[in-house]
Amino acid sequence: MTKSRATMTQVARLAGVSIKSVSRVINREAHISPRLRERVEAAIAELNYTPDTAARSLAGARAFVVGVLFDNPSPNYTMNIVGGAHEACSAQGYHLRIDNLDSTEQDRALADQLEAVLSHGRCDGFVLTPPLTDIPLVLDTLERHDVRFVRIAPVLAPGRTPTVQIDDFAAAGAVAQCLWGMGHRHFGFVGGPPSHGAAGTRRAGFFSRLKALGLEAMPSEASGDFSFDGGIAAGFALLRTATPPTAIFAANDDMAAGVMVAAAQCGLAVPRDLSVFGFDDSWVALSVWPYLSTVHQPIRAMASAAVSLLLDHPREALALEPVTLDWTLIERGSHGPVRPER
Amino acid sequence: MTKSRATMTQVARLAGVSIKSVSRVINREAHISPRLRERVEAAIAELNYTPDTAARSLAGARAFVVGVLFDNPSPNYTMNIVGGAHEACSAQGYHLRIDNLDSTEQDRALADQLEAVLSHGRCDGFVLTPPLTDIPLVLDTLERHDVRFVRIAPVLAPGRTPTVQIDDFAAAGAVAQCLWGMGHRHFGFVGGPPSHGAAGTRRAGFFSRLKALGLEAMPSEASGDFSFDGGIAAGFALLRTATPPTAIFAANDDMAAGVMVAAAQCGLAVPRDLSVFGFDDSWVALSVWPYLSTVHQPIRAMASAAVSLLLDHPREALALEPVTLDWTLIERGSHGPVRPER
DNA sequence: AATTCATTTGGCAACGCTGTCAAACAATGC
DNA sequence: GCATTGTTTGACAGCGTTGCCAAATGAATT
């Protein structure tokens, strides 16, 4: 980028105003006459001027950097978060920083990792993704350093910090409803690791709705650790019983894909012999056959909203009321009506 | 990050030297006495000083930003690229910029997208990923703007720019060798879109080795567009013939996963009735059952190397000799010895 | 008409660092 | 011993922007 870029001084000269006024227009400050604004905007357009981030950051209080902190093994999830956050950032001329923490570390080590992140460079705020959102040590450390942050889909201490989420409880309820409506009465549930709180919420929503619908024998359960492998194992555990379920709901798509493998191994055809539902609508949902029925979580939009929350509000005015985005039930090929009892 | 960070002036005062000397130590400039360096480094450590990127960028020629340009539908691939590039960047205190182009656009529109990217902010260089690496317009535009860039796995005009790659030809040959050694004599190949040049190289390497091994009837072929869907369709095309192949090599993992679906639909068990090989060792390779045999491409390392190439060499000294990283044949469960002819 | 107050604009000193140039110092050759 | 060269250090002026304060302008009140 050798090509010399226009500077504020040049814009000011062309518009016949002071550079301070140009600055005001750019920052949308109050008390600018329409006439001045027009002149400046014309000059900006003519010179194709873009403010220099480095200079803005040096002179002002903002760093023009927001960070995403994650510790999520799924590249699909992470990529969507990064993509969404990046979109929101670059729309406002901010840089995105990515930091991978290892939450399985000891407390002490985790704290050190965080300190390292914080001392690495200035940052206007962070976006936290699960399971980091629910680790008290992380929240405490961030708050102690007086750092702004938004949590995505936290379970712990809702209302403690600004939050972006979906209604996992209701979404899981919708899955139960859908399956129930197709005649299923024998259910299985594959849960996630305890560290991932949302898995618990999804379980609660699923069970609660089934109960409300009048189900007596609660679903059999197996834990799958949110992984494909875990899903296979959980699938076997659920399927190799005297009265196997006719429908299995897994708390994420990877495990649901694993359940489908287990079903195939057991000689069960999906969806004829077994209905499978996932959660997330991640990449893997379209990499299995039949395509996985699942709950679409607008992950990109959530990350984007989290960044906007950080950027659009003055330092103190971060709303604590959670921003709740919509989920969608995606009915693809992995579920269907229950077969008549043989 | 309200906590006030140490500045160069403070370090200089503590070490009893001028700020310029501190600057010299930080930038590893020549002509610094060991004594001075030690004193400064001690002071830096004591104050936990980190140079301010914004100030460095404003004062100096570097922007401390490198960009990744991509247009790749696979989040796995992209995430690895971004991860690797980010790693290399943050190790040197650089920011990473991500820009998604749409290479299916008209030339004019593509050029506009590029111009927008270039005028968006200063940048010390770009990393290009396929298929952008092989679009002459992109290369021309970047060169015309006098922008440094490194291409990852290009096919077009090797040697024109700095490049990081693997030896696709040899890797595909190794797949052929492996399959041949297990007794296979009837092969199928699933190719990628013409825009993705590496698919062609993989095909050439596969065919060439088979020929060298003495195969007479060249493999049947089908095109799969690098997608799961395309792989399913190609799998059917290959399998539903009078003399179906006993081994299929797909130019990427997504298509290979699709081939496995087609095989299952045709009542063929993998690897008993059909051996399947993929390429990339992406996330999907471990999301199918049996796990996919494939060629591991060190994508993170490649991106990381690309950034290092950009950062470690002075403006003019980018080596044009391609950096070639190692691939690995990953033999998992989707291939095996051919069944005796029935 | 004079006074007060709010609105709109400008001047200028930072912000933390690097580039340029020059000064101080040490080593070498005659 | 003095000029010459090379090495090591420091002084200082920006880089492009924002924050603070003051000045100019206009409107409203007495």
- Helix axes of B34-47 and B8-15: crossing angle, nearest 10 degrees: 120
C27 C1' – B7 CA distance, angstroms?
36
Contact by Cβ (8 Å): A318, A110: no
CA B312 to C1' D12, whole Å: 30
Pick out chain B residues at pLDDT < 70: 1-4, 315-318, 341-342
With CA atoms as reference, report the closest residue to B307 among B323, B295, B292: B323
Cα separations (Å) of A301 from A78, A105, A201, A307, B153?
Answer: 13, 30, 21, 10, 32
Asked if the domains A1-46 and A168-298 are classified in one and the same CATH topology, the answer is: no
User: Is the CB atom of residue B57 positioned under 7 angstroms from any atom of strand C?
Assistant: no
Judging contacts by C-beta atoms under 8 Å, the chain B residues touching residue A63 are 1, 54
* Lookup result for tokens 């040899």: B170
Q: Would the CB atoms of A122 and B1 count as touching at under 8 Å?
A: yes
Calculate how close chain A gets to B54, using CA atoms only, in Å.
Answer: 4
User: Hey, where are the domains in chain A?
Assistant: 1-46, 65-166+299-326, 168-298
List of chain A residues whose C-beta atoms are within 8 Å of the C-beta of residue B80: 75
CB contact A119 to B (< 8 Å): yes
Nearest Cα of chain A lies from the Cα of B194 at a distance, in angstroms, of: 22
Check residue B106 and give its pLDDT.
84
Confidence of residue A281 (pLDDT cuts 50, 70, 90): very high
From B3, B63, B264, residue closest to A145, measured CB to CB: B3
pLDDT value, residue A30: 83
Of A5, A86, A121, the CB nearest to B53: A121
Q: Place domain A1-46 in its CATH homologous superfamily.
A: lambda repressor-like DNA-binding domains (1.10.260.40)
Rounded to an integer, what distance in angstroms lies between the CA atom of residue B230 and that of residue B237? 10
CA distance B267 to B55: 65
CA of B327 to C1' of D7 (A): 48
Residue the block writes with tokens 């518009």: A15
Tell me how many degrees the CA angle A267-A288-B302 measures, rounded to the nearest 5: 135
Nucleotide nearest to A34 (CA to C1'): C8
Give the residue on A whose Cα is nearest the Cα of B60.
Answer: A54
Q: What pLDDT score does A340 carry?
A: 77
Between residues A126 and B320, the one the model is more confident about: A126
Strand C and A79 CB separated by under 7 Å: no
> Beta strands B125-128 and B65-70: pairing type?
parallel
Residue in A with minimal Cα distance to B97: A95
Report angle CA A322, A176, A276 to the nearest 5 degrees.
110
Mutate to test the interface with B, among A95, A145, A252, A283 (most CBs of B within 10 A): A283
CATH class of A168-298: alpha beta
Return d(Cα A24, Cα A8) in angstroms, integer.
11
**Does A233 or B29 have the greater pLDDT score?**
A233
| Contact criterion met (CB below 8 Å) for B153 and B130 | yes
Rounded to 5°, the CA angle A168-A193-A111 comes to: 100
Residue A58 and residue B53: Cβ atoms within 8 Å? no
Cβ partners under 8 Å of residue B282, min gap 6:
B74, B76, B77, B80, B252, B253, B254
User: What torsion, rounded to 10 degrees, do the Cα atoms B219, B282, B66, A87 define?
Assistant: 110
pLDDT at residue A88, as a whole number: 94
Locate tokens 């290399």: which residue?
Answer: B88
CA–C1' distance B66–D18 (Å)? 26
Q: Is the per-residue pLDDT at A342 higher than 70?
A: no
Q: Which residue has better confidence, A312 or A173? A: A173
User: Residue B30: what pLDDT?
Assistant: 85
Residues of chain A with Cβ-Cβ distance to B90 below 8 Å are: 97, 120
- Give the start-end residues of each E strand in chain A: 65-70, 95-100, 125-128, 149-152, 163-166, 187-191, 220-223, 247-250, 275-277, 294-296, 323-325, 328-330
As a whole number of angstroms, the distance between CA B226 and CA B192 comes to: 5
Q: Determine the pLDDT at residue B146.
A: 87
Task: Give the nearest chain B residue to A254 (CA atoms).
Answer: B287
**In contact, B16 and A87? CB cutoff 8 Å:** no
Distance B157 CA to C15 C1' (A): 46
Instruction: Indicate the CATH number for domain B8-51.
Output: 1.10.260.40
Question: What's A65-166+299-326's CATH class?
Answer: alpha beta
Question: Is the per-residue pLDDT at A3 higher than 60?
Answer: no
pLDDT score at A1: 37
CB contact under 8 A, A119 and B289: no
- Closest alpha carbon to C1' of D14, residue: B59
Give the nucleotide at minimum CA-to-C1' distance from A58: C15
Instruction: Pick out the nucleotide with least CA–C1' distance to A24.
Output: D18
List phi, psi (to 5°) of B265: -65, -30
Please indicate whether, in this complex, the C-beta atoms of A289 and B232 are within 8 angstroms of each other: yes
Q: Does B264 touch chain A (CB under 8 A)?
A: yes
Contacting residues of B for A86, CB less than 8 Å apart: 98
Residue B255 · residue B190 · CB < 8 Å? yes
Give the CA B32 to C1' C29 distance in Å.
26
Which pLDDT band holds residue A315 (cuts at 50, 70, 90)?
low
Q: Which superfamily, per CATH, for B168-296?
A: Response regulator (3.40.50.2300)
Selected residues 30-49 of chain A with any CB under 8 Å from a CB in chain B: 48
Mutate to test the interface with B, among A50, A62, A79 (most CBs of B within 10 A): A79
| Three-state secondary structure string covering A215-262 | CCCCCEEEECCCCHHHHHHHHHHHHCCCCCCCEEEECCHHHHHHHHHH
pLDDT at A171 over 90: yes
Q: Kindly determine whether the C-beta of residue B315 is less than 7 Å away from any atom of nucleic acid strand C.
A: no
Measured between CA atoms, the residue of chain A closest to residue B74 is: A283
Chain D bases near protein CB atoms (7 A cut-off): 7-20
Residues 6+ apart with CB under 8 A from B235: B190, B222, B248, B258, B259, B260, B261, B262, B263
